[in-house]
Chain A
Amino acid sequence: NAGVTQTPKFQVLKTGQSMTLQCAQDMNHEYMSWYRQDPGMGLRLIHYSVGAGITDQGEVPNGYNVSRSTTEDFPLRLLSAAPSQTSVYFCASSYSAGTGGHGYTFGSGTRLTVV
């Protein structure tokens, strides 16, 4: 049971490049999400998914796309990287959200620098 696995751990991109941050969980969690963490700004929700085939936007979705074709995987795509997207990205999953309410399990993070 690996939990939540994120790859890569570090990445440097040039402005305008595209890339995909990978996230996989093996806990059969329904709920998966992506956050970015910037100094002094806490964790901000980018996109989330309540199950396979269902995704929705969070607080800061612009510049990012997601898909959820399987329960296990929830990749985050940057189509045209910008310096403002330099941040630490965390993927997180939960057994369920809503009225049941369960805590997140976070991945180890991806430190992305856009130059």
Chain B
Amino acid sequence: GENVEQHPSTLSVQEGDSAVIKCTYSDSASNYFPWYKQELGKRPQLIIDIRSNVGEKKDQRIAVTLNKTAKHFSLHITETQPEDSAVYFCAAIGNFNKFYFGSGTKLNVKP
């Protein structure tokens, strides 16, 4: 099945700086890559996604890039704010419609 690896596991940045979280996947047939934000004690929520026919997608301060050849995709958050502090998960859809999640990145934005 699919294997999704996510790095780093923790990330601490100063408010206003950028944050980058990277994921790799193993199944070349995977074609949909969502990112989720989970605040403490809450449910994961979709923040952005990208499909395999697109190389980059941006939504205000958040962007995702996809390199299908290298099988990796990244989340970029610019001008970070304290409310961006959360755990972020990447995911990939592998064979048989299964979502596979990365292990998560705990982002801490220091004021």
Q: Is B78 an interface residue (CB 8 A)?
A: no
Which of A40, A48, A101, A103 is B98 in contact with, Cβ under 8 Å?
A48
> What total of chain A residues lie within 8 Å of the partner, measured CB to CB?
29
Contact B97 A48 (CB under 8 A): yes
The contact sample of 9 A-B pairs, CB cut-off 8 A, is A35-B101, A45-B99, A97-B99, A99-B31, A101-B49, A101-B93, A103-B36, A104-B99, A106-B43
- Which residues of A, 51-76, contact B by the 8 Å Cβ criterion? 56, 58-59
Q: Bound complex: CA of A35 vs CA of B89, how far in Å?
A: 13
> What total of chain B residues lie within 8 Å of the partner, measured CB to CB?
25
* A-binding residues in B (CB < 8 A): 1, 6, 9, 31-32, 34, 36, 42-46, 49, 51, 89, 93, 96-104
- Which residues of A, 84-115, contact B by the 8 Å Cβ criterion? 90, 92, 97-109
